[in-house]
Amino acid sequence: MPEHRFPEASLTITLKPCLVSREETVKAYKYKLKPSAKVVAIFEAWLAALCELYNAALQERRDAYSINGISISKKDQSAQLPDIKKERDDLARIHSQVIQEALKRLDLAFQHFFRRVKESRIPGFPRFRSRSRYDSFTYPQSGFKLDQKRKKLHLSKIGSVELHLSRPIEGEIKTCTIKREADGWYVVFAVEENEPKPVVMMPDKTVGIDVGIKTFATLSNGEQIENPRFLRNRERELKKAQRRVSRRIKRSNRRKKAVCLLAKKHQRVARQRRDFHFKEANKLAKKYRVIKFENLNIKGMVKNHHLAKSISDAGWRQFISITAHKAEEAGGEVEEVKAAGTTTRCSRCGQDQKMPLDIRIYRCGSCGQIMDRDHNAAINIKERKGRAVLSSRRRDAVVEEARTYRATDPESPTIARPRV
């Protein structure tokens, strides 16, 4: 049994493993595929056909409403698929559930659109997808089989594909998504975990965390997490790769190679940032039962063009989301508190005073307290009551949300499409 010592109290507490009752959760397992050239050609052909179907279904919905004032549902469009497959051989070669899932993505895009309208947010009408931006297809129920011993994935109407099985899958596989990324093809399994796992409950300790740019995060106990600045450190290399793309002739093979090289460099930065977030979140989840962050308006903050790149490079929202996931696994929770006044208010006496960004030391004019401004803010965050942040582990997390327009959807050009 693990023992935890607390020097300030000179006590030794023995924590017993216990079973924490949790609801059924869905976890994503991602593996690198090793497809042959023939299988890659099939993947590309399927994505092209599904992208065309998605755009045609969107066009039909737009035209039906703008011309006749009629709303078309997913059920109406799915009923037309058998007739379409008789006319289009490329769609007939695709698994039936994969085709239906493409229409489901469009339906989800409209559901999100109407939800944002009800919430009085910028709605963002579902938009058309280019082939370069339609990068995945999903087997939602059947049509796939994973052989973990032979490390092969059997896909209906495609064949067998080898994969790099880096870790075993624990649970029941619900969906299988084939995804194209800059460095190759991947498979993502949505796995349902039914059995609760033994969790060592951590001491009832709470910590407040103030995220920032100079230091990535400052804890209420004074600890600091340095900002690795992955994007800034590779900015010169990325600019050079971007200029190489700009010099290439459009639609040429050399441009395609340059674009692929640039995408790989950006992918490397994103993976470094995500790995850093996972490691730091895991450390926090093992130490604290309750972890508190500010509820920041990050979308509004990135409108400051002097700080936008640094804020995006830090990836605060991704870090909070990953921490919530790790804390939930460890039996803890993450809370978000109101951000107003955490920096300007003294953590000892509660006095408010102005704190411009260039002033890094907090000097209270009332009680005389002197400390780092981020440390002061972290203590205020710890003492506030917050709202629990729920982990985003849900079944539809594997499927991409359709890309949308920011405001009104301009008229799109006529496209060659199958009849839907």
* Residue 312, burial from CB neighbour count under 10 angstroms (0-12, 13-18, 19+): middle
Domain-embedded: residue 159: yes
For the record, the structure tokens of 385 come out as 């009551």
Reported as a single tens digit per residue, the pLDDT across 207-222 is 999 999 999 999 999 9
Sign, Cα dihedral of 298, 304, 306, 308: positive
The low-confidence residues of the chain, meaning pLDDT below 50, are 1-22, 394-420
Matching residue, tokens 């790989």: 264
171 found inside a domain: yes
Number of domains the chain is built from: 1
Q: Is residue 156 part of a domain?
A: yes
Taking Cα atoms as reference points, which of 263, 130, 353 lies closest to residue 255? 263
Check residue 392 and give its pLDDT.
57
Structural domain for 85, as ranges: 25-193
Q: Does residue 99 lie in a domain region? A: yes
Would 127 be classed as within a structural domain?
yes
pLDDT at position 202: 65
**H or E element, residue 6:** strand 3-6
Burial (CB count within 10 angstroms: exposed 0-12, middle 13-18, buried 19+), residue 396: middle
pLDDT at 198: 63
pTM above 0.75, yes or no: yes
Is 89 a domain residue?
yes
What is the predicted pLDDT for the residue at 13? 36
Neighbours of 260 (CB within 10 A): 12
Task: Report which DSSP code applies to 126.
Answer: B
Instruction: Quickly list DSSP for 190-206.
Output: EEEE-SPPEE-PPPS-E
400-405-411 Cα angle (round to 5): 125
- Within a domain: residue 61? yes
DSSP assignment letter at 131: G
SS3 assignment, position 189? strand
**Cα–Cα separations (whole angstroms), residue 112 to 148, 317, 326, 404:** 37, 20, 27, 10
C-alpha pair distances (Å), 203 with each of 3, 102, 220, 289, 386: 11, 47, 17, 7, 20
342, part of any domain: no
What is the CB neighbour count within 10 angstroms for residue 416? 7
Angle between helices 96-118 and 37-68 (to 10 degrees): 50
For residue 108, how many other CB atoms are within 10 A of its CB? 17
Residue 74 has a CB neighbour count (10 Å cut-off) of 18
The confidence score (pLDDT) of residue 60 equals: 95
Residue 129, classified by CB atoms within 10 Å of its CB into exposed (0-12), middle (13-18) or buried (19+), is buried
| Cβ atoms 373, 362 nearer than 8 A | yes
Residue with tokens 């890659």: 40
